[in-house]
Amino acid sequence: MSEQLKWFKSSYSDSEGSDCVEVAVTPTTVRVRDTKLAVTSPELMIPVLVWSAFISAVQPGA
């Protein structure tokens, strides 16, 4: 992959790095990967509009 992505670890991740995910945002997609696997992890690529709808749906009171 030629694209340099800035990955962010989930705020729910523990300091030991278990059971957590990282996300990277591009203009068109949000990419999700397993923190434990880092660069070798497969990436789930979600269109930005779909990600926004998902986040809205899981917000408290939605």
How far apart CA 38 and CA 42 sit, in angstroms, is: 9
Structure pTM?
A: 0.73
C-alpha radius of gyration, the chain, whole number: 13
pLDDT of residue 53: 95
Per-domain residue ranges for the chain?
8-58
pLDDT-derived band of residue 35, with 50, 70 and 90 as boundaries?
A: confident
CA-nearest of 54, 51, 50 to 23 is 51
Strands 8-9 and 29-34: unpaired
Phi, psi (degrees; rounded to nearest 5) at 45: -105, 120
